Amino acid sequence: MNSHRKQLVSLAHPVYLSLLASVAAGIINTVWVSRLGGPAVAAVAVATSTENVLLGIALVFASGTTVLVAHGRGARDPAAIRSAVRGGAALCALVTPVVVATGFLLREPLARLVLGGTGPELSLAVAYFAISLPGIAVFYVQQLVDGILKGAGDTRTPMRLALLANGLILVADPFLINLYGVRGAAASTVLCRVVALGVGLRALRRNALLRTEVDPAESVRAALRRTLSTGLPMSADFTVRQGGGLVTVAIVARLGVTAVAAYAIAYKVLYVATMAFYSVRQAASIHTSHLRGAGRDARREIGREAMLVSGIVGVGAAVLLLLTAPWIMAAFGAGPQVAHGGVLFLRCVGPYLLLMACFIALGGVFEGSGGAPALLRVTVLGTAVQLPLAYGLSGLGLPGVCLALALSMGVQCAAVAVLLRRRARSQEDAEVAFERVA
């Protein structure tokens, strides 16, 4: 096996298992909530989609810290590692109270903006937010802990923490949802994350690379600014993508509660595949940044291997969903109309998955090599294409929305191809100029 591919797989599979644990908990959560009826499923779908936008903000300190710690590890510079940790912690402490307080105070207008009207799903979404938004603070700190460990080359401990948290959620969900409805779903998630965070903080203190007693390379303020400049494009990229997903949910809501419920269930199923793409992306970002810190430029090779690994997963997932969509929807216990809509979506999603696999995986190379701002521009372009297309094609139902997703992802892949050609040409020109000078 190619050495870069081996390293990507080694880093990615613990990340994928941790993400998959979250997906599994979300799917089980949806199964239990679906027993409360379509309005409950729609409310939780909108609430969790909104949370994804807010959670994307965590990447400004979590992913920024990962890249900077990995760079310091590659350079064998303990002072730089310590500065990266301090900068990430300071930025987390600055951002978290603002996000939590603002989200909690605006929970009702936010739910109304997405769902519209005054139906039962609106009050259920507000009830979910009342518990989940204060709990964002726990998740933010956990993201920082995970980001530090991943930058240090340890992706297995975050995996174990995710398995712990989501294993506890699977146990607590049935009990709390039966007692408190959608509020119980939110409470289950927050309480179980608190337990995992306590274990994660202990693991952080025991990490040998992070325990080195050295003076940081720069002041807290300078480290905070460096983390912000590194992580902000990655955070903005994810937030724009999730924001586009939230608006897409609002577009689907125009088709009725049944369509929203079908879309919510189908999209949670897609997470099983898309989380694999994001795990390869994180692995590519860590590996690229580590090698850059060591003075090696292997972006082209890492990008090729990341696309290969992620693309194989994308093809396999598309074929599997095409064949098993009816059984998947039946497993959720949804009504026949909801199941029919979900099956249509899952059977149409193959092209979108394959394009997304290549684009998401390749994004890790951009993030690890300082190209996140360029990637952000591509994401903004894709979202600007996706939303009007989804609105215009929603008249075809969920298959129309699926077509809009595929077309917008095609545009993003084409834009990234142009960026890669320009980078390759610039590198060749630089090498020619160096040879002439030499």
Q: What is the pLDDT of residues 24-78, one digit of tens each?
A: 666 677 777 777 777 777 777 776 667 767 777 888 899 899 999 998 888 888 8
Residue spans per domain, the chain: 3-437
Q: What is the pLDDT of residues 333-386, one digit of tens each?
A: 767 888 888 888 898 888 999 999 999 988 888 888 888 888 889 999 999 999
CA angle 339, 343, 347 (to 5 degrees): 175
Tell me the one-letter amino acid at 275: M
Report the alpha-carbon distance of residue 15 to residue 281 in Å, rounded.
10
List of residues 6+ apart from 42 with CB closer than 8 A: 115, 121, 253, 257, 260, 261, 264
Write down the pTM of the prediction: 0.79
- The conformation of residue 210, written as its DSSP 8-state character, comes to G
- B/e letters for 234-257, b = 16+ CB within 10 Å, e = fewer, are bbbbbbbbbbbbbbbbbbbbebeb
DSSP H helices in 107-219: 107-115, 120-151, 156-180, 182-206
- Per-residue pLDDT for the chain (438 aa), expressed as one digit of tens each? 578 888 888 888 888 888 777 666 666 777 777 777 777 777 777 766 677 677 778 888 998 999 999 988 888 888 888 899 999 999 999 999 999 999 889 888 877 776 666 677 778 888 888 898 899 999 899 999 999 999 988 999 999 998 898 889 888 988 898 888 888 888 988 999 999 999 999 998 888 777 776 777 688 889 999 999 998 888 888 888 877 887 888 888 888 888 888 888 888 788 888 888 989 998 998 988 888 888 888 888 888 889 999 999 999 999 999 999 888 888 877 678 888 888 888 988 889 999 999 999 888 888 888 888 888 899 999 999 999 999 999 888 888 988 999 999 999 999 988 887 777 666 554 444 434 544
